[in-house]
Chain A
Amino acid sequence: MGLFAPWFLAGLAGLALPLYLHLLKRQTTKPKPVSSLMFFESRTQSSTRHRRLRYFLLLALRLLVLLLLILAFANPFVNRNAAAIASNRLVLLVVDNSFSMRAGTRLADAKIAAMGVLSGKGAARAQVGAFGSQLHLMTQPVEDQSALRAAVQAIEPGDGHGNFGELARAVRAMAESVHTPIELHLFSDMQRGDMAASFSDLTLPANVTLVAHAAVSKAQPNWTVESVDAPGQVWGKDLKPIHVQAVIAGYGTPAAQRTVSLVVNGKVTATKAVTVPANGRTTVEFPALEVPYGFNRCEVKIDSADGFAADDLHRFAVERSDPQKALFIHNYGDTRSPLYVGTALAAAAQSAFIVESINASEAADRQLSNYAFAVLSDVNTVPSLLENSLNVYVKAGGSLFIAAGTSAGARSTIPVFGGRIIETRDYSRVPDR
């Protein structure tokens, strides 16, 4: 034991103050007048003794309070035995219940291993947690073996993706509040995909000791549809064929031939046999996906016949619909603007619009509600009839894109929008001469 601020012990001199006060107070008893002392008798001895006793208790309390105050300022500390601290360690049992632990008897094996560790630790303080995408603690730190065993048995397989980085982060946070050594027992299938993005994320505090228990002795082969590339939307009766590309991957697998099927609305529309190299991946292409109008449920699946049936299938949806019309209103004689906009819209992969270009004077009699959106492209003058139609169209929920260009200088307000044009500046690519 020691003191962080031993100089506060000088305050012990202050203990003399209550002693002095007690001695002084004994001398200043105020005499009390009475009518007569006729029936009083002196009790000097007993009274003095009584007073000393009572004053002693009061004095002792005052001295104790002062002493504690001084000690509090001196900030004492205790050198605890390292062995004693070590014996108070926390055994943290973390069982991986991510999706991969569903394979075979991995989770059951992990639980059995955790039970074994619990039995070996005897009456040590322990805590049980389940680890998927994040750490879920199942118990408080307790020494009750039955509660700990029940918690291990209660761990259910999850659908999450294991993340060792998240586990390390949770243990780091726990170590900030638990100052005793932590013995971390991790029961997992140790999948490579569970690794954190950077190795530094796996750092554990100094008082945490990691004991890893692999739940599998050898790699479990797994073929999976890793990814599918297909358009989400197709327009009208597109003459271009719709390509669907799928990547088939194998983990811990030998080279093998797999059958890949393309299913549209529950019907197999195409089947291909591919050879997946050992521990590798291969690409399968379905050149022509035929889907009817509306939303279609599609999937690519393989006949992997491995222990992970759930990843043998990849679902995606494709919608087929007609392209929509867009009205492009421009100045008379302006041919460049429709060309730019039409080309830009045609280049967008996920959209299909048929652009109808028209000058402002002809646009007034168009039924705007037939168009997905309208563009007012730097028009010099907007006929009032057209402006009214555009106002009605916008108020009814229609979309209008107004481009204010060089012609805006001739106007005081933005058409339809109504905003005032405060200032215009023209720039030219041709330098002044």
Chain B
Amino acid sequence: MAQRFLDPAVLASISSLELIARTVVDGFVAGMHRSPDFGFSQEFAEYKAYNAGDDLRHVDWNVYARTERLYLKRFLGETNSMLTVLLDASNSMQFGSHRVNKMDYARYLVASLFYLAIHGQRDAAGLITFDDEIRNYIRPSTRQGQLHRLLAALEQAEPRSRTDFARPMRYFQEFLKRRGMVLIVSDFWESPESIVRNIEPLRYHGNEVVLFHVLDPEDVRPVMKGPAILVDMETDAQLEVTPDYGKTEYREKIDAHLADLRDKTQAAGMGYYLLMTDRPLDTALREYLTLRGMRK
């Protein structure tokens, strides 16, 4: 049942991004047979001796009654993390061979992650949208209304121009000075070497970097009924291609590219996950939670 609700084609019929995020997260969590009140603040971590200035609300008065010493009761949930999502909003993200294009899929994915981080785990979350330069930046925060700001930014992120990691990546490092998680959502139409070279510096501040590689099924297995003129959505370049090529050489090349990208990113200590837009969103959410758990 949960899988049905996570189907991107079903989600596309929901107009509100927040509702989509809630549907995805609640459905996903229910699918894991876990409590919807997912939170680490309920889990006891340690006792800490009281120091002047500490919040008296966290004093364990039972311990004080027995020992006449002040101890603070600390919980795991209080060690918040910071989530920053870098969303590729270039033209190629508009491509879609079915109802949900890559940009829509990325929106659902990022919205769900934000919802899970802010509502579920009280994490600070921020967003950077970029193409060949930075288009929008929402500073990571846990303030009231942060989720709405992030979702509004997602709604406004219209694909345009082309992807260029080199130029905006210089500025990313200025924004990412606090340690946290960095999720990069893109279709990564660049060489693996270039991608790793441009993204790797993000790890220098101790960030966990994960690449969510969003691709349409036809990006991997193009469907061609006859010889056709193909137009690049970012560069408008045209090329005449035969179906035979699309069935043989192209598939070999794209498979090699995906394998190379995965190997190189993992070798560089980054996470890499390939997400096809006709698949449910579980993979991305499960990966996020796994990473979140590791950071604890």
Q: Which residues of A contact B (CB under 8 A)?
A: 29-44, 46-48, 50-51, 54
Contact = CB atoms under 8 A, between A and B. Distances in A.
B212 to A, nearest CB: 16
B245 A36 contact: no
A39 B231 contact: no
Contacts of A31: 228-231, 238
Given A43-B240, A44-B240, A37 B227 contact: no
Given A40-B241, A40-B250, A33 B227 contact: no
Interface in B261-280: none
A388 to B, nearest CB: 98
Given A31-B229, A31-B231, A37 B237 contact: yes
Interface residues of B, number: 35
Contacts of B102: 35
Contacts of A50: 226-227, 242
A41 B239 CA distance: 7
Contact of A32 (B92, B189, B231, B244): B231
A29 B254 CA distance: 26
B245 A35 contact: no
A314 to B, nearest CB: 93
Contacts of B257: 38-39
Contacts of B241: 40-43, 47
Contacts of B232: 34-37
Contacts of B228: 29, 31-32
A34 B230 contact: yes
A94 to B, nearest CB: 68
Nearest to A55: B226
Contacts, number: 87
Given A35-B232, A41-B249, 8 more contacts: A29-B228, A31-B229, A32-B224, A34-B219, A36-B92, A37-B230, A37-B237, A51-B226
30 contacts: A29-B229, A31-B238, A32-B229, A32-B230, A33-B231, A33-B233, A34-B232, A35-B92, A35-B102, A35-B215, A35-B219, A36-B92, A36-B233, A37-B232, A37-B237, A38-B257, A39-B257, A40-B245, A40-B246, A41-B249, A42-B239, A42-B240, A43-B242, A43-B244, A43-B245, A44-B240, A47-B241, A48-B240, A51-B226, A54-B226
Interface in B70-87: none
Interface in B208-224: 215-216, 218-219, 222, 224
Contacts of A30: 229
Contacts of B123: none
B187 interface: yes
A383 B224 CA distance: 110
B95 A34 contact: yes
Contacts of B242: 43, 46-47, 50
Given A35-B95, A51-B226, A40 B231 contact: no
In the A-B complex, list the 9 residue pairs whose CB atoms are closest, starting with the nearest.
Answer: A47-B227, A36-B189, A39-B253, A35-B92, A47-B242, A35-B95, A43-B242, A37-B232, A31-B229
A34 B241 CA distance: 12
A40 B219 CA distance: 11
A39 B95 contact: no
Nearest to A38: B189
Contacts of A42: 239-241
Contacts of B155: none
A40 B227 CA distance: 13
Contact of A35 (B189, B224, B226, B249): B189
Contacts of A48: 227, 240
B185 to A, nearest CB: 15
A35 B217 CA distance: 11
A46 B227 CA distance: 9
Contacts of A47: 227, 240-242
A122 to B, nearest CB: 61
B231 A34 contact: yes
A197 to B, nearest CB: 78
Interface in B131-153: none
